[in-house]
Amino acid sequence: MTWKNDQVNSLETDKILELARNSLKSSGDFVELGCYKGDTSLLIAEILKNTDHILYIYDSFEGLPQKTGNDESALGENFKGGELYVTKREVKERFLRAGLKLPVIKKAWFNELTDEDLPEKIAFAFLDGDFYESIRDSLKLIDGKMVEGGIIVVHDYMNPALPGVKKAVDEWLIDKQVKQNTFQSMIIIND
């Protein structure tokens, strides 16, 4: 099945799906933090169709949050608070039209989510929060829940319009190196 993805280019989409398929070997569920219209969610749900893995998606469904100083970039002027607004209902309707099982959908800002809102074991995490605080909060949420061999994909890492993404990931990786000598999960960064 082919889907149009408005926010992630075709090369990125192919890589995300390849990595998601690789994650099917691991025990644990799949999470997406920042789903927008659900384009990537639909593709991942298609991969999970005949498996025991559960897809969890999280979004504010209020558009982007307000930028902080970590997100300022002349190239990112079009990324403003409230932009990329879509409703939870719209995402649900897309799943129903596609004939796919509804994922667990949680409406919240990432800093409002708690440990209990995410599955205990995560095999695959796609983080598409666009801004520093959203990515930082996403990484905190999945930290300690990734199964051995689990895969984390962070979108927009090298996007000069969204510099906060790289800053949040780099800080997290430095912290991981300080806390432990070996990092069990794999991290793939898309731009």
What domains are defined for the chain? 10-189 (3.40.50.150)
Rounded to whole angstroms, the Cα distance separating 80 from 63 reads 9
Q: Which residues contact 49 (CB under 8 A, 6 or more apart)?
A: 100, 101
Q: What is the pLDDT of residue 81?
A: 81
Q: What is the pLDDT of residue 2?
A: 33
Averaged over successive runs of 10 residues, the pLDDT of the chain (191 residues) comes to 49 89 94 96 96 97 90 82 90 97 97 97 96 96 92 91 94 76 50 45
SS3 annotation, 25-73: CCCCEEEEECCCCCHHHHHHHHHHCCCCCCEEEEECCCCCCCCCHHHCC
- Going across the sheet that includes 104-107, the strands are 104-107, 55-59, 29-33, 122-127, 146-154, 186-189
Q: What is the pLDDT of residue 8?
A: 62
Provide the 8-state DSSP code for 76: G
Question: Angle at which helices 10-23 and 39-48 pack, to 10 degrees?
Answer: 30
| Residue 2, burial from CB neighbour count under 10 angstroms (0-12, 13-18, 19+) | exposed
Q: What is the pLDDT of residue 44?
A: 97
Q: What is the pLDDT of residue 183?
A: 46
